[in-house]
Amino acid sequence: MDDIYFAGSIRGGRDDVGIYLSIIEHLGKYGKVLTEHIGNKNIGSSGENLEETEIHDRDMNWISQARTIVAEVTTASLGVGYEIGRIVERNVWAPEHERKKILCLYRPQIDKKLSAMIKGCRGLTNVDYGSVEEATAAIDRFFSS
């Protein structure tokens, strides 16, 4: 079982924390989710009670450790975009056997458009979904491919 890094908005907004929790629980079938705290309903949009450098360094270490990245990208988040960009850049230079698989899950909404930088990136697997059941089915397909 692989280590999995789940990315979802914290400071960009916590409206989808219930969805994050469901996704994290489902990801547990495939490995250890290093970022279970993203689904913690007690973490508000002000984030964790840690110094920013601690959060950055911890998360970058977890990204290095993880084999698979799953990001819920419906709520725009500078942090999630930063993480995805760093991973994609690392993958460009990494030998094929060291490249991380990246799944981005997006729930289309009238007032929220997915960034072209995510949607248009060839280094990502992008999946639109409408329900948690559709998201977990997409995760199952992703891990079986």
**pLDDT number for residue 126:** 98
Give the separation between CA 34 and CA 64, rounded to whole angstroms.
Answer: 11
The reported pTM is 0.95
Mean pLDDT computed over every residue of the chain:
95
**pLDDT number for residue 135:** 98
Number of domains in the chain: 1
pLDDT at 44 over 80: no
Contacts of 63 (CB under 8 A, 6+ apart): 5, 69, 83, 86, 87, 100
CATH code of the domain containing 106: 3.40.50.450
pLDDT at 46 over 90: no
- Its domain, for residue 133, covers 2-144
Q: Give me the percent of the chain exceeding a pLDDT of 90.
A: 86
